Structure 1
Amino acid sequence: MSKMSLARTTFSSQPFLVLSKAVYPGHVQSCNRKVLTNIFKRRIKEEEPKPMAEIEPERAPVKFSNYTENNLKKRTSIQTRRAYLPPEDVEGKVHRIVKEVYGKTADVQNIDLDEDRRKKFTVLTKMMKEFDHFIPNTELHDMKTIDQAVNFFLTEVRDTTCLEDLTKLDLPKNLHINTEYLRYDRENNPLWPGKDAFPGQQTRACSAKFARKYNVVDKSKDKYIFNLNRKTFFEEQTELAEIIKKEIYRK
Structure 2
Amino acid sequence: SPVCLGETPTTHCVKMAALIRRSHLLPNNLHQAKIAFSTSCAASTAKKYVRMVPIREDENGLPSKAIARSTLASLSDRGFCRPMKPYKPADDVEDRVKAIFEDVLGQKAESSWLQTPIAEPLLKFRLLTRCIKEFGHDIPSSQLMNVKCADDVVEFFSTPIEGLSPYETLVKQKDQLPKNLHVVPNYVRFHPETDTFFGGVNAYPGTSTIVTGLKAKKKYKGYVASPTWPYTISST
TM class by shorter chain equals 0.5 to 0.7
Q: Which runs of 5+ in 1 are unaligned?
A: 1-61, 226-251
TM-score (norm: length of structure 1): 0.50
Is 1:202–2:200 an aligned residue pair? no
Partner of 2:57: none
Q: What residue ranges of structure 2 are gaps of 5+ in the alignment?
A: 1-59
* Secondary structure, aligned partner of 2:225: coil
Q: Distance in 2 between matches of 1:177 and 1:197?
A: 25
Distance 2:217 2:104 in 1: 46
Match for 1:152: what amino acid?
F
User: Match of 1:163?
Assistant: 167
Tell me, yes or no, if structure 1 residue 128 matches structure 2 residue 132. Answer: yes
Shift of 1:188: 4.4
Aligned to 1:112: 117
Amino acid across the alignment from 1:64: L
- Counterpart of 1:160, as a letter, is L
- Residue 226 of structure 2 corresponds to residue 215 of structure 1: no
Aligned counterpart, 2:142: 138
Would the alpha carbon gap of residues 146 and 203 (structure 1) be closer, same or farther in structure 2, given more than 3 Å must change? same
Aligned-partner Cα distance in 1 for 2:231–2:147:
61
> Which of the pair is proportionally richer in helix?
1
* Cα distance in 1 between the residues matched to 2:104 and 2:158: 21
Say whether the 8 Å CA contact 1:94–1:127 is kept in structure 2: yes
Q: Does 1:87 align with 2:90?
A: yes
Q: Name the CA distance, whole Å, in 2 between partners of 1:193 and 1:224.
A: 14
Number of residues paired by the alignment?
A: 161
Q: 1:167·1:177 contact (CA, 8 Å) conserved in 2? A: yes
**Shift, 1:108, TM fit:** 0.5
Map of 1:233 onto structure 2: none
Deviations 1:31-87 (A, max 9, x none): xxxxxxxxxxxxxxxxxxxxxxxxxxxxxxx82379538718626745442222222
For the 8 Å contact 1:200–1:223, the answer to whether it is kept is no
Question: Which position in structure 2 is the counterpart of 1:154?
Answer: 158
Q: Structure 1's 142 and 76: CA in aligned 2 closer, same or farther, altered over 3 A? A: farther
* 1:111 CA drift (Å): 1.6
- 1:92-107 to structure 2, matched below 5 A, reads 92-102=95-105, 103-106=107-110, 107=112
Range with greater deviation from structure 2 (204-213 or 105-114): 204-213
Q: CA deviation at 1:202?
A: 1.1
When the two chains are superposed, the root-mean-square deviation of aligned CA atoms in Å is 3.7
**Percentage identity across aligned positions?**
23
Letter in 1 for 2:209: R
Q: Which moved more, 1:198-207 or 1:155-164?
A: 198-207
- Structure 2 distance, partners of 1:131, 1:160, is 20
* 1:174-201 CA-partner distances (Å, limit 9, x unpaired): 99754333434455446x2516461525
For 1:74, the aligned partner's letter is: S
Distance, in Å, in 1 between the alignment partners of 2:231 and 2:208 is 18
Preserved contact between residue 191 and residue 223 of structure 2 (Cα < 8 Å): no
Task: After TM superposition, give the deviation of residue 89 of structure 1 in Å.
Answer: 2.2
Deviations, residues 118-174 of structure 1 (Å, cap 9, x unaligned): 3322222211111111122232233121111111112222322233223334739x9
Match status 1:183 vs 2:189 = yes
Partner SS state of residue 171, structure 1: helix
- Relative distance call for 1:74 and 1:169 in structure 2 (3 A) is closer
